[in-house]
């Protein structure tokens, strides 16, 4: 496989850096801690512990310019069909900001505002209905992970008006565990599904529809309104989604109904305003001062030039425990591609495996492997300066652990006993938020969205389709009848044997 030209240009930098120890890179460049960091509003990001030096960064910035990042972002915001395989724009930015120009973006913005007004009516009506104490979100993937993350992360600032629940998995155990804790007379359910064709959501929705005793407190968010109505949700309780927003980018739409219920009108508006502020930064800032470009170019360098095939995200904040799950879909569904937008095989590795967990807990599970395992895993640490709890000693310890881990992974420590030596040289990015609030969370998530898009731009892949998930769904659908009818022919001998075991 011939590497693309841009990778040939990065390769000499990687060769020079692969054997340089991170502690040496930091020691030899006193301005590094300052110059490899960028603050934008309440977000501070440091790449001082990435395996980069100044010439490598210049080469990456040149790559960002050559890949026409500013024009690519403009195309995104203006509603050009950046999702080429499906011939569609990806206008999630129109859900939160006014930065798009041209007919497609303006029309999307109008639709977004109208849908937001309807969502507000539904949310206010629910708030006004004193009987309703609990709301259940039924959805999966992008119709679950974003809303669940925001509700979990910002609970401490919420209105507390409702108890909010999520059912995603088709495993009936999820509904079985939740429903006995709720009163059907005091519960509303929202089926969130862009397609309204997702097996998990329809099956769980059916359970809830029966349990609620009809459709009176059943709501839906979908781009397929007729299907939602056919399911039994009255038209006035169906909020629209749009073809021009991908599921994993849809948090900012009516898919965010549960976050809206958690945060209140102003809190949800602050989430959108935070994302809009990041949009404005990413669209305006030159590549050299652009947070999303920094993230994207660093991911590309680690994956393609240095060959690291995994990325671990570790928020040091319990409220962000679901962030790795959310980013798994955003990054791996968007970048998990091996052909480019024109359908040709890419000539370099693309998506890393993204995984992670919440610090400091994971220090006591997988960090051993990060410090002394044979593979180098680039890390992203996320910390929050100001806590929202009164336990100051805990917070100091939490942040001390974050700083210590980043330092230990980078610098390592020699020891005459090899069992007790730390090789170091393990790179990390540190992102610090002043506070965890709706504004900063909106900024953080929008930052990751744009970093994904710019990475896709370098790789030439489509960040907005996900055909890879379809085959398994089709086979599962075809297999379903065989569970009840032993006469159904199963071609694959291994599947047949496994099915026999299950039957």
Least Å distance, CB 405 to ligand F6P, is 32
Least Å distance, CB 455 to ligand F6P, is 18
Structure tokens at 8: 């040939």
Element (H, E) at 134: strand 134-138
Structure tokens at 257: 């109904």
Phi/psi for 238 (5° steps) reads -105, 120
102 — alpha (psi -120 to 50), left (phi > 0) or beta?
A: left
Among this protein's residues, is 473 annotated catalytic? yes
Beta carbon nearer to ligand F6P, 10 or 238: 238
Phi/psi for 44 (5° steps) reads -125, 130
Beta carbon nearer to ligand F6P, 140 or 208: 140
Structure tokens at 212: 């609620």
Beta carbon nearer to ligand F6P, 187 or 201: 201
Residue whose C-alpha is closest to residue 383's, from 429, 419, 347, 352 = 429
Question: Which of helix, strand or coil describes residue 37?
Answer: strand
Beta carbon nearer to ligand F6P, 97 or 198: 198
Least Å distance, CB 143 to ligand F6P, is 4
Least Å distance, CB 229 to ligand F6P, is 16
Residue whose C-alpha is closest to residue 325's, from 293, 284, 354, 282 = 354
Beta carbon nearer to ligand F6P, 220 or 270: 220
Does residue 229 contact residue 235 with C-beta atoms inside 8 Å?
yes
Does residue 350 contact residue 461 with C-beta atoms inside 8 Å?
yes
- Where do contacts with ligand F6P occur on this chain (CB under 6 A)? 140-143, 193-195, 198, 201, 247-248, 333, 466, 469
Among this protein's residues, is 333 annotated catalytic? yes
Least Å distance, CB 56 to ligand F6P, is 34
Structure tokens at 184: 């059907």
Residues 166 and 169: their CA atoms lie apart, in Å, by 9
Residues 158 and 173: their CA atoms lie apart, in Å, by 28
Residues 286 and 292: their CA atoms lie apart, in Å, by 11
Least Å distance, CB 49 to ligand F6P, is 33
Residues 125 and 127: their CA atoms lie apart, in Å, by 5
Residues 94 and 113: their CA atoms lie apart, in Å, by 9
The two beta strands, 43-49 and 428-435, are antiparallel
- Which listed residue (2, 5, 364, 416) is catalytic? 364
Beta carbon nearer to ligand F6P, 201 or 376: 201
Beta carbon nearer to ligand F6P, 125 or 476: 476
Least Å distance, CB 3 to ligand F6P, is 30
- Which listed residue (80, 200, 333, 449) is catalytic? 333
Residues 310 and 265: their CA atoms lie apart, in Å, by 38
- Which listed residue (58, 236, 415, 473) is catalytic? 473
Known catalytic residues are: 333, 364, 473
């Amino acid at each position: 496989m011939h590497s693309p030209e841009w990778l040939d240009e990065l390769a000499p930098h990687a060769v020079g850096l692969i054997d340089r120890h991170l502690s040496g890179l930091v020691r030899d460049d006193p301005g590094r801690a300052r110059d490899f960091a960028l603050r934008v509003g309440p977000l501070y990001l440091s790449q001082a512990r990435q395996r980069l030096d100044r010439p490598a960064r210049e080469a990456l910035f040149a790559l960002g310019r050559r890949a026409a990042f500013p024009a690519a972002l403009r195309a995104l915001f203006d509603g050009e069909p950046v999702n080429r395989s499906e011939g569609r724009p990806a206008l999630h930015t129109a859900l939160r900001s006014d930065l798009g120009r041209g007919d497609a973006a303006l029309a999307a913005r109008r639709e977004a505002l109208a849908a937001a007004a309807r969502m507000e009516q539904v949310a206010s009506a629910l708030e006004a209905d004193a009987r309703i104490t609990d709301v259940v979100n039924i959805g999966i993937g992008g119709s679950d992970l974003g809303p669940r993350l925001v509700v979990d992360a910002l609970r401490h600032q919420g209105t507390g008006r409702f108890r909010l629940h999520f059912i995603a998995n088709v495993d009936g155990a999820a509904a079985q565990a939740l429903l006995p804790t709720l009163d059907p007379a005091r519960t509303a359910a929202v089926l969130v599904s862009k397609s309204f064709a997702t097996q998990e959501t329809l099956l769980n929705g059916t359970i809830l529809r029966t349990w609620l005793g009809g459709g009176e407190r059943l709501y839906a968010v979908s781009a397929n309104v007729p299907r939602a109505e056919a399911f039994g949700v009255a038209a006035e309780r169906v909020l629209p989604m749009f073809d021009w927003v991908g599921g994993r980018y849809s948090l900012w739409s009516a898919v965010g109904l549960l976050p809206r219920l958690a945060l209140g009108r102003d809190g949800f508006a602050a989430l959108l305003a935070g994302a809009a502020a990041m949009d404005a930064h990413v669209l305006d800032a030159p590549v050299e001062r652009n947070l999303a470009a920094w993230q994207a170019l660093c991911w590309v360098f680690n994956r393609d030039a240095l060959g690291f095939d995994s990325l671990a995200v570790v928020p040091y904040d319990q409220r962000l425990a679901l962030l790795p799950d959310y980013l798994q879909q955003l990054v791996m569904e968007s970048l998990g591609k091996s052909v480019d937008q024109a359908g040709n095989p890419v000539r370099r590795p693309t998506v890393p495996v993204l995984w992670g967990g919440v610090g400091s807990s994971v220090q006591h599970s997988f960090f051993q492997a990060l410090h002394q395992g044979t593979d180098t895993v680039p890390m992203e640490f996320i910390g929050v300066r100001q806590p929202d709890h009164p336990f100051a000693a805990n917070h100091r310890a939490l942040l001390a652990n974050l700083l210590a881990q980043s330092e230990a992974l980078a610098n390592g420590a020699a020891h005459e006993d090899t069992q007790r030596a730390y090789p170091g040289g393990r790179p990390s990015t540190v992102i610090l938020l002043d506070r965890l609030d709706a504004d900063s969370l909106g900024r953080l998530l929008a930052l990751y969205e744009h970093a994904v898009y710019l990475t896709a731009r370098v790789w030439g892949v489509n960040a907005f389709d996900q055909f890879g998930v379809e085959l398994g769904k089709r086979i599962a659908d075809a297999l379903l009848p065989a569970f009840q009818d032993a006469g159904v022919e199963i071609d694959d001998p291994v599947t047949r044997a496994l099915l026999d075991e299950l039957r």
